[in-house]
Structure 1
């Protein structure tokens, strides 16, 4: 059965309020966790690096998504009506921004995968000018904005995004005559970055397999990478570039590569979680699986997309640098944060 043509309506008050409570939990957890990520990067210079610029971009998108969830909470707490219990423009605007932020997330993950490929394959050539990084970040917002807003405005039949009378939430309008075309365009918006992600991590995997034997052999040289920070990798790379000692160059290169592979695994975990969270909604929205039960699961599949915004900080916490800064912040040991930024120094001095 076509989810758009089904007569089913998400009317059960228990299910609606249960979903609203889930949204509240996701919103609170996502806002707290992603704010922790942002503050960590602001306060610790050890976390100032190219990879974490995009991590911050991802966290900003997640914060915006979580901050808009209360709109749907209010709507879900009320019974289904022909019009939402909030202003129609609020419903439409929150839906558009949420869709854009999901697009920003997948484009940011694609950008991180490109960076991971560069640092693993060309560790000495990953320093990029600031103007290029700014344009790159801007693109992660402009591309999904154009792909989501332009079709919604251009397609006949009115704006595609807004209050969905079938499910009583803010999303696409299931009654819109061109909803299938819009969903197809949305799928393309997410499919292209996912292709980039798969290609980059496949190349990284091949590279890792190619060098694994060399890295095992190098372990006999007592190489330890536990003290290499992300912020120091560029300086180490410059040192390696100019040193004439072959053994030192070989040793330091392996330190960098091993460190970058650890980071790559962590970011690959973020990608896998994102795909797992968005996959259920893609399956039901694109009618890959059909039936009454599928139609009833649509609201919960949508909740999985929002869940992704809340779980990312827990994945970042697996990284030792983030984990240490998180712990020091939560225990208010501000003076023990490694390589404090000027902001942290100002705040600690002001407090004293």
Structure 2
């Protein structure tokens, strides 16, 4: 009888060696994420060319990812606990879970907002601070993102749909194992991620369609001009003009084609990023609750906070230059750029 009682207590936990693996990976992700996202924020602050309206959202995204990385040590403490209890006061674990949910929601909302702003600027040919694309309006968007993220974290537990705290089975600060409606909260969070994924795909799809249509119109106009010029080549001057235009237009088309490729790559990267985050969170709704896959899925979700500086920073030439200057401690060039 005692043996059965002991086994019933020890059964609902993931094997300790799996938790050690996840804790080790998370420790590395925390270091890389803190360094990369801090580098993004410092680059925008110290580099004049990076102080753009869109980069306000990039900084907000980096800040949300820093919060996620700062919560990792507290998650590691829970993962390495072998007592079945959180080693620190559990109220702190509930706080860590709340910060985690808020920062993840803020991250995906930021990605949607970045996609929307890029669509707005590109499709409407906005130059400078016009329309929605102003610091004041983007600051309102940032405020709305955080208010929405906090609300989505607070409202479900207040309504009794899940309880923030220590999950003894997974060994992390998330939803407790005792609340019978925790699964409803998981479904709700999954719906938020799916909505963010769809919206982001829509905005980047609209950008890609706009560029393709623009290039098609340019090629059609170039073809019409070429036929018109060849049929009406009455003088040597027109032939010379035609020759010079033919020499200049192909590079323009080549540049636009290169732009198509770059935008396609960016869309593919964003899609992959969201799919990783979606799979990591959405797996809860399709796999039984007691699943080792969910713990590793959580690890992949945290990795999302590490790759964001790479995608939204390293692919940008100005960010690349700022990163090199900061890492190499070259203060003078940065001061000249800032002025």
- The bucket for the TM-score relative to the shorter chain is 0.7 to 0.9
Q: Secondary structure at the match of 1:170?
A: strand
For 1:204, the equivalent position in structure 2 comes to 207
Say if 2:169 is the partner of 1:131: no
For the 8 Å contact 1:40–1:325, the answer to whether it is kept is yes
How far apart are the structure 1 equivalents of 2:310 and 2:206?
26
For 2:56, the equivalent position in structure 1 comes to 53
Cα 1:61–1:262 change in 2 (3 A) is: farther
Say if 2:322 is the partner of 1:325: yes
Where do 1:150-299 residues align within 5 Å? Answer: 150-155=155-160, 160-214=163-217, 268=267, 271-287=270-286, 289-290=287-288, 295-299=291-295
Residue segments in structure 1 that go unaligned for 5+ positions in a row? 1-6, 220-253, 343-352
Say if 2:64 is the partner of 1:65: no
- The count of aligned residue pairs is 299
For the 8 Å contact 1:123–1:257, the answer to whether it is kept is no
The structural deviation recorded for 1:265 is: 5.6
For the 8 Å contact 1:147–1:185, the answer to whether it is kept is no
For the 8 Å contact 1:16–1:77, the answer to whether it is kept is yes
Cα 1:321–1:177 change in 2 (3 A) is: same
Cα 1:55–1:181 change in 2 (3 A) is: same
Q: Which has the higher contact order (CA 8 A, sep 6+)?
A: 1
Residue number among 76, 84, 87 corresponding to 1:85 in the alignment = 87
Cα 1:262–1:136 change in 2 (3 A) is: farther
The structural deviation recorded for 1:213 is: 3.5
How far apart are the structure 2 equivalents of 1:90 and 1:260?
48
Return structure 1 stretches of 4+ with deviation > 4 angstroms: 214-219, 256-267, 289-292
Give the structure with higher Rg (CA): 2
Residue segments in structure 2 that go unaligned for 5+ positions in a row? 1-9, 223-252
Cα 1:321–1:13 change in 2 (3 A) is: same
The structural deviation recorded for 1:291 is: 9.1
- Larger displacement relative to structure 2 (123-132 or 296-305): 123-132
How far apart are the structure 1 equivalents of 2:114 and 2:207?
12
Which of the pair is proportionally richer in helix?
Answer: 2
Q: Secondary structure at the match of 1:185?
A: helix
For 1:115, the equivalent position in structure 2 comes to 117
Residue number among 87, 96, 99 corresponding to 2:98 in the alignment = 96
TM-score (norm 1): 0.76
TM-score (norm 2): 0.79
- 1:165-209 CA-partner distances (Å, limit 9, x unpaired): 111211112331111221222123223332221211121121111
- 1:77-105 CA-partner distances (Å, limit 9, x unpaired): 22151x21111111000111111111001
How far apart are the structure 1 equivalents of 2:321 and 2:257?
20
The structural deviation recorded for 1:263 is: 8.0
How far apart are the structure 1 equivalents of 2:88 and 2:13?
18
Cα 1:18–1:319 change in 2 (3 A) is: same
For the 8 Å contact 2:54–2:117, the answer to whether it is kept is yes
Cα 1:269–1:68 change in 2 (3 A) is: farther
For the 8 Å contact 1:58–1:105, the answer to whether it is kept is yes
Taking only aligned residues, the RMSD between alpha carbons, in angstroms, comes to 3.1
Cα 1:73–1:98 change in 2 (3 A) is: same
How far apart are the structure 2 equivalents of 1:291 and 1:100?
22
How far apart are the structure 2 equivalents of 1:112 and 1:262?
20
